[in-house]
Chain A
Amino acid sequence: MKILGYIFSFLVFPGFLFSSIMGLLVGWVDRKVTARVQWRVGPPWYQNFVDVVKLLLYKETLIPAGVSAGTFFLMPVLAASSASLVSTIMLMVNAFPKSGFIGDVIVVVYLMIMPSLALMLGGFASANAYASLGASREMKLMLSYELPFILSLVVPIMKSGFAVKFGTIISHQHASGLTIASASGVISFFVMLLCVQAKAGFIPFDMAEAETEIISGPFIEYSGKALGIFKLAKAILTFIIPIFMITLYFGGINFKGWGFITSVLEYVLILVLMILIKNTNPRVRIDQAVRFFWGPLTAFSIIAVVLAYWGF
């Protein structure tokens, strides 16, 4: 019975189905805000659903000749599965902080790598030069943001008394102040915000897909169902990233009364920050991104760690 409960929570709520719907809605918010920034009207709220349903049901799925079809089709599914697992874990630990569902913060950090990994392997498997190029950019980008990302992750861990369980991180913040309410917390929050910008593949760090240069990179050979599943994986990840940050910096999502409104506002704040960064910056080159993440951002995250040592 317990297993069936797990499978239900993974597939339906709060896992795949729920997170996909939320992710597509978040995608609509993204498109709408972007449109407003650019003085356009923007699409209706159901536009993303229509797009995905079209891909999943109506468009044909093309297989590039001479590739390992198993790998080619496995990767979108793997990306969606691992993204759903991340969202299931994150929402479960926020709903029941004491339960300790499946994994801790280290596990989630590693599971969040998997969609990128699947994207890269999918790109590699499609035997297209543009896909290989894009996937190698994705890998280099991952290398670059991973260093400041880990360093900024250290601050919430330190602030919550060296805990890695989400339950402890949440309850410790409620007992002795939110991570964001400290100098080190603020610095590491902004560093992590830029890192997740790259993790989500948003401009200015979308050089892996770079439509105008390498024609969507790893996605170039994907079409139909496989592309639709990749899009869903991406939507789920975009939906869950702000929740990951709320858990680490704002003491998790509060489901009771007015607290829920605050949590939603925090969510919208993080999301809109990401969208605004996306809309006010041009795409950077990969070596510029690496220099940016290993240079100033790593320096800032080290400052945050040192401040956290001194208790600020």
Chain B
Amino acid sequence: MAQDIILYSVFVPIAAGIFCFFLPDRMKILAKTAAIFITLLSLAAAIYLFIKKPAYWPNEIRALFIVDNLSSFIGIGISVFALLVTVYSMGFQEKAFGRFFAYLLMTLGGALGAAYANHLVILIVFWGFLAVTLYLMVNMEATAAAAAAAKKALIIIAGTDALMILGVGIIWNLTETFLMDRIQLPLTSFYSFMAFITIAIASFAKAGAMPFHSWLPDVAEDGPTPVTAYLPASLDKLLGIYLLARASMSMFIMNDASNMILLVVGSATIVLAVIFALIQHDLKRLLGYHAVSQVGYMVLGIGTGTAIGMAGGLFHMINHAIYKSCLFLTSGVVEKRAGTTDLSRLGGLAKLMPITFTCFLVAALSISGIPPFNGFVSKWMVYQGIIESASAKNYLWVIWLVSAMFGSALTVASFMKLLHAVFLGRPSKDFTKVKDAGLFMAFTVVILASACIIFGVFAFVIPLPILIIPAVNRAIAYIGIWAPAVATLLITAGIIIGFLAYLFLRPQSFRTVPVFEGGEDNTEFARVSGVEFYNTIKEINPLGAIYAKEEAKSFDIYYIAKRLIYSFTRYLQKIHNGVLPSYLVWCLMGMVVMFLILFLVY
């Protein structure tokens, strides 16, 4: 029974997706119903598999698909986000429901296939399939910017995919098996190390770690918002980090050098990406840079090689998926209602969109790692992993710890800017009649924001023992103390008493007055948007140097590769002058050369 469910949960969504693809736009009710029904069903299947784990298909000895502690947890995550994005899109999407849900369902099936696959070739097939669906989804609206972003994403992900195929070839050569549960490669030889690197690069590109990150901000800015929340913010993170965890926890026996690579990539990603985020002008692009930066914590956690670090990395993965999709979906509401994501035009929406603002605030505090929300717990675990690895002679631990903690301060900074520019500050005159989210959109963001709170306050009761610790499969010893439930109780008690004090200590003494700025009504003149907050420190090193490099696109691997390729093809281009006789001359010359070779050899 369980083994058939594995196959169904992979192929039924794909089949349903193909069905939706051919639905005409008139029958959008059918597409919506099919999408909700299939995503609910696959969530049920994922939960069933989670309970029945371990499950194998076709059998335990030569399993092509395996549902174990790690992959069943990823499976639940994938299904939950597919369901939430489906519900949200009911309120967000206006046209092309058939195509949108077709891609969404195909992505769901492909992602589940990649998560459950135990055969490396099957994994590669689904991995490539997901790159294609990502391309299709980002390019849904077919604007020039979206097309460019989709192309960039496809080229980076498919290019690293090709590297992974090479790595899988090496693995087969060394072990003569494609079955992931049989592989246990020590990273002693050059070839096994290369195999690890290729797989790590594939997972970095998927999750968006540096230096393979540059597709993500572009997709976030120009792609449709539900798609960004669905793929780069949640599913791609889950899969990329899943592959990295699988590779470093079971397929390869890690050593100091391989861990060091992960630590360097993780720390650099955290700090650099968040520094870029600090100066962005577009809400969605800024969030895109954070989607890159947060991957650093996951990679860092896995790179510590300690059980608590790995658990922290995996926990951060699921937490990130929750709060980042919440952030993207709330900014989708802003985009839909206000019609722009340009930070300099927005402002003061908190009063008009209380639900959206509250959810955004919760998610923003979570991503900033403020206790008692979920992001804090996982970051706290990653920090402990780093400190624990320090006693195991990881001499550079201070660098990793400081970049992780300082990165989190930078995250706070850029979210303060966002909160000011979008929701707080002086309202802009253009948006006085903006409405809050509709039913479907509000439902989704409220669920996600509540998940941020629940996963934070009850971290040691719900997510960690049920999902994370079984997936890590090692005993975890916390070296610190954190009692989130008590702390939350106390802070809540304080807030309640504070509000009682407002209400009952001489309550008559409240009065509304206009804002005082030197006694003049200079409403529009003195409006601070928040975009320019960090301009006064932009020039200070090391920020100045980093921004100059970013300006020159030195961090964009796509741009560098493009420059490299154009430097060859510049010469080839000259041959293409569009004049027919010259092409004929080339053909003739080629034929002459071929005949000469034939003549001389034989």
Interfacial residues, chain A to chain B (CB-CB below 8 A): 3, 6-7, 10-11, 15-16, 56-68, 70-71, 73-74, 76-78, 80-82, 84-85, 88, 100-107, 109-111, 113-114, 117, 120-121, 124-130, 132-133, 135-136, 139-140, 142-144, 146-147, 150-151, 154, 157-158, 161-165, 220-221, 224-226, 229, 286-287, 290-291, 294, 305, 309
Q: Is A61 a contact partner of B413 (Cβ separation < 8 A)?
A: no
Chain B residue, CB-CB nearest to A133? B528
Q: What are the residues of chain A within 8 A of B493 when measuring CB–CB?
A: 7, 10-11, 81
Nearest A residue to B487 by beta-carbon distance?
A: A102
Residues on B with C-beta less than 8 A from A107 are 371, 380, 480-482, 487
Chain B residues with CB under 8 A of A165: 479-481
Smallest distance from the beta carbon of A221 to chain B beta carbons, Å?
7
Across the interface, A136 reaches (CB within 8 A) one of B351, B412, B494, B533, namely: B533
| CB-defined contacts of A67 to chain B, threshold 8 Å | 351
Which of B32-40, B71-79, B221-229, B424-432 binds A? B424-432
The contact string, 1 if C-beta is below 8 Å from chain A, for chain B 552-588, is 0000000000000000000000000000000000000
Within 8 A of A (CB), among B410-448: 410, 412-413, 416-417, 419-420, 423-427
- Pairwise interchain contact A110-B528, C-beta atoms closer than 8 A: no
A81 adjacent to B512 (CB under 8 Å): no
Selected A-B contacts with CB under 8 Å, 7 pairs: A77-B498, A102-B487, A132-B530, A136-B420, A136-B530, A143-B537, A147-B409
Within the assembled complex, what's the spacing in Å between the Cα atoms of A2 and B528? 48
Which chain A positions have C-beta within 8 A of B409?
113, 142-143, 146-147
Complex interface: stretch among B95-103, B198-206, B387-395: B387-395
Q: How far is the CA of A286 from the CA of B540 in the complex (A)?
A: 11
Inter-chain contact A68/B351, CB cutoff 8 Å: yes
Are B537 and A290 within 8 A (Cβ)? yes
B-side contacts of A229, CB under 8 Å = 498, 501
Contact mask for chain B residues 358-383; partner A; CB cutoff 8 A; 1 contact, 0 none: 00000000000111000010001001
Q: How far is the CB of A184 from chain B (nearest CB, A)?
A: 12
The answer to whether A126 touches B515 (Cβ under 8 A) is yes
List A contacts of B398 (CB < 8 A): 151, 154, 305
| Contact between chains at A139 and B533 (CB < 8 Å) | yes
Contact A59 B391 (CB under 8 A): no
B residues within 8 A CB of A106? 380, 383-384, 480
Q: Which 6 A-B pairs have the closest CB atoms?
A: A81-B494, A77-B498, A104-B480, A124-B424, A68-B350, A60-B509
Stretch at the interface among B189-197, B242-250, B260-268, B400-408: B400-408
B residues within 8 Å of A by Cβ? 348, 350-351, 354, 357, 369-371, 376, 380, 383-384, 387-388, 390-391, 395, 398, 401-402, 405-406, 409-410, 412-413, 416-417, 419-420, 423-427, 479-483, 486-487, 489-491, 493-495, 497-499, 501-502, 505-506, 509-517, 526-528, 530, 533-534, 536-537, 540-542
Q: Which residue of A lies closest to B491 (CB)?
A: A81
Contacts across chains A and B counted by CB atoms under 8 Å = 247
Cβ-defined partner of B369 (8 Å) among A110, A161, A226: A110
Contact B376 A110 (CB under 8 A): yes
Which chain A residues border B495 with CB–CB below 8 Å? 74, 77-78, 81
- Contacts A3-B489, A65-B513, A286-B537 known; A102 to B481 CB distance under 8 Å? yes
Contact of B481 among A60, A104, A130, A151 (CB under 8 A): A104
**Are B526 and A129 neighbours in the complex by a CB distance under 8 Å?**
yes
Judge whether A63 and B413 touch: CB under 8 Å: no
What's the Cα separation between A67 and B352 when bound, in Å? 10
- Give the distance in Å from the alpha carbon of A143 to the alpha carbon of B274 in the complex: 12
Query: Are A129 and B494 within 8 A (Cβ)?
Result: no
Q: Is the CB–CB distance between A103 and B499 below 8 Å? A: no
Residue of A whose beta carbon sits closest to that of B501: A225
Partner of B516, one of A11, A15, A128, A144: A128
- Distance in angstroms between the alpha carbons of A103 and B372 in the assembled complex: 11
In the assembled complex, which residues on chain B have CB atoms less than 8 Å from the CB atom of A102? 481-483, 486-487
Residue among A59, A106, A125 with the most chain B CB within 10 A?
A: A106
The answer to whether A76 touches B401, judged by C-beta atoms less than 8 angstroms apart, is no
Expressed in whole angstroms, the minimum distance between the Cβ of A214 and any Cβ of chain B is 11
CB <8 Å contact, B491 and A154? no
Contact A85:B380 (CB < 8 A) given known A63-B510, A128-B517: no
Q: Are A162 and B390 in contact (CB under 8 A)?
A: yes
Task: From known contacts A104-B482, A110-B371, A224-B509, infer whether A150 and B537 are also in contact, taking CB-CB under 8 Å.
Answer: no
